[in-house]
């Protein structure tokens, strides 16, 4: 991948259109939270990822950084948490894109059709990435371009609607509200700004990674910050914050914009672009995360099959196929007996903590390498996000904490058992 490819890759994997609706739902104070998170989490992440990428330019990213800083077990635990969180995150990406298309085209209650479409897209993208990065990168490029277009169109529509009719949500008070039922969103803001570290995992696929990764982080960072702040403002202008749906809120805004601007085709255009962003993000995450078990397999902490490259296409085909198979099962299991909303929320809950936990290791490795200010800011935000992630979101029961604590404990125990087994069989 060259610099433009990595910039679009970063935009694709970091930006989540779904977070705009969640942010708008919490009110104008979310704008302040986005800006604070960018300054105290995203920029420190970019600085630390850039620094660690220069120091350890080899493939494996956060696994290698943690292994070198704290030893093999911590590297394995960091990599395992990140890998597991991504496997749960991959269905979220597809289900969100399809849920938006469902709202736009009117088949939102047809669960069997949704599962069928998700599996068809999943395996098409998996095969494309199996054939090599040269082909797979076009999927990422498509997702990045579609993401930028979604943000630009929403911002322009929101600005035009504000000029001609004012804001649907009063924007006078930008102080975040300490609403217990909405504190869970604070962790999702941090989650919505993760993804820069994924490019470093693919360092072996990037031309001149020591120069390209830091430059791409800063270039894509500007677009990402503009998307979140501008996109959330656009939703608040177009839809009253109390009426924003956390799944279909972007489509509510698109429909409102179409009505206010007299363009009936605007919602369909946004829906198609969001589906393209979902497909691009899914392919990018699938391709990137497959390199993690590949590197861990080379270190012999996973079965040797994970360290194999396809003899013709030179891709980690075992890891790719394993991730695609797991995601397929997760989609079917999570949707069984659940509504689309219920299946989506379960997957989001399972992703949050296991995604944020590896950032403790990333920032701790940065601290050990001497980047004290950046890591102090990043660790502080990460710790706060991990705490509030255990606060039940709106409408959740006490089983939320049981599920979160049990799920996290299961990941750590399984990782330790696998690591001990690997140690015994490496001798």
Nearest CA to 323 out of 333, 334, 331 is that of 331
Give me the pLDDT at residue 311, please: 87
pLDDT (tens digit per residue) in 39-84: 899 989 988 988 898 888 888 889 999 999 999 999 999 999 999 8
- Residue ranges in 262-339 assigned as alpha helix (H): 266-298, 317-335
Give me the pLDDT at residue 107, please: 67
pLDDT (tens digit per residue) in 373-396: 999 999 999 998 888 877 776 665
Q: Which two tokens stand for residue 283?
A: 């392919």
The architecture (CATH level 2) of 3-426 comes to Up-down Bundle (1.20)
Give me the pLDDT at residue 349, please: 62
pLDDT (tens digit per residue) in 140-154: 899 999 999 999 999
- What's the average model confidence in pLDDT over 131-136? 76
The whole-model pTM stands at 0.86
pLDDT at 155 over 90: yes
Query: For residue 307, how far is the Cα from the chain centroid?
Result: 25
Q: Which two tokens stand for residue 367?
A: 């601290």
CB count, 10 Å around CB of 185? 25
CA distance 423 to 427: 7
Of 338 and 288, the structure prediction assigns the larger pLDDT to 288
Look-up of token digits 């990406």: 93
Look-up of token digits 């995601």: 327
pLDDT (tens digit per residue) in 236-278: 999 999 899 887 889 999 999 998 888 888 999 999 999 999 9
Of 32 and 352, the structure prediction assigns the larger pLDDT to 32
The chain-wide mean pLDDT, for the chain, equals 85
pLDDT at 341 over 60: no
pLDDT (tens digit per residue) in 212-245: 888 888 888 889 999 999 999 999 999 999 899 8
- What's the average model confidence in pLDDT over 28-47? 90
Helix (H) or strand (E) holding 185: helix 184-191
- What's the average model confidence in pLDDT over 103-126? 81
Nearest CA to 404 out of 340, 341, 356, 333 is that of 356
CB count, 10 Å around CB of 75? 26
pLDDT (tens digit per residue) in 74-113: 999 999 999 988 888 888 888 888 888 877 777 655 677 8
């Amino acid at each position: 991948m060259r610099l433009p490819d990595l910039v679009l890759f970063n935009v694709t994997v970091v930006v989540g259109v779904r977070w705009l609706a969640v942010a708008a739902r919490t009110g104008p104070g979310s704008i302040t939270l986005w800006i604070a998170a960018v300054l105290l989490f995203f920029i420190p992440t970019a600085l630390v990822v850039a620094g660690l990428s220069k120091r350890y330019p080899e493939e494996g990213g956060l696994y290698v950084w943690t292994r070198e800083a704290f030893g093999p077990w911590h590297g394995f635990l960091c990599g395992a948490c990140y890998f597991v969180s991504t496997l749960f995150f991959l269905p979220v990406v597809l289900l969100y894109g399809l849920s938006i298309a469902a709202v736009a085209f009117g088949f939102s209650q047809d669960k069997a059709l949704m599962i069928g479409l998700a599996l068809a897209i999943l395996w098409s993208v998996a095969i494309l990435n199996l054939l090599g990065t040269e082909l797979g990168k076009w999927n990422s490029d498509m997702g990045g371009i579609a993401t930028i277009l979604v943000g630009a169109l929403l911002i322009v529509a929101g600005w035009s609607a504000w000029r001609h009719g004012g804001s649907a949500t009063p924007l006078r008070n930008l102080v975040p509200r300490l609403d217990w039922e909405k504190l869970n969103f604070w962790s999702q803001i941090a989650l919505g700004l993760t993804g820069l570290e994924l490019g470093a995992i693919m360092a072996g696929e990037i031309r001149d990674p020591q120069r390209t990764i830091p430059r791409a982080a800063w270039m894509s960072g500007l677009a990402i910050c503009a998307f979140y702040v501008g996109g959330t403002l656009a939703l608040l202008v177009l839809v009253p914050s109390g009426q924003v749906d956390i799944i279909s809120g972007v489509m509510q805004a698109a429909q409102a914009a179409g009505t206010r601007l007299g363009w009936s085709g605007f919602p369909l255009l946004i829906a198609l672009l969001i589906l393209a962003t979902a497909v691009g993000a899914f392919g990018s995450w699938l391709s990137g995360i497959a390199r993690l078990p590949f590197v861990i397999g080379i270190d012999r902490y996973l079965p040797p099959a994970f360290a194999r490259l396809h003899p013709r296409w030179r891709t980690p085909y075992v890891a790719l196929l394993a991730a695609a198979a797991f995601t397929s099962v997760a989609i079917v299991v999570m949707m069984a007996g659940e509504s689309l909303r219920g299946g989506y929320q379960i997957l989001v809950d399972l992703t949050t903590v296991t995604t944020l936990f590896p950032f403790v290791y990333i920032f701790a490795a940065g601290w050990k390498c001497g980047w004290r200010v950046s890591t102090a800011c990043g660790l502080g935000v990460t710790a706060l996000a991990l705490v509030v992630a255990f606060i039940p979101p709106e409408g959740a029961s006490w089983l939320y904490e049981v599920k979160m604590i049990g799920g996290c404990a299961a990941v750590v125990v399984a990782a330790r058992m696998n690591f001990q087994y690997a140690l015994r069989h490496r001798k």
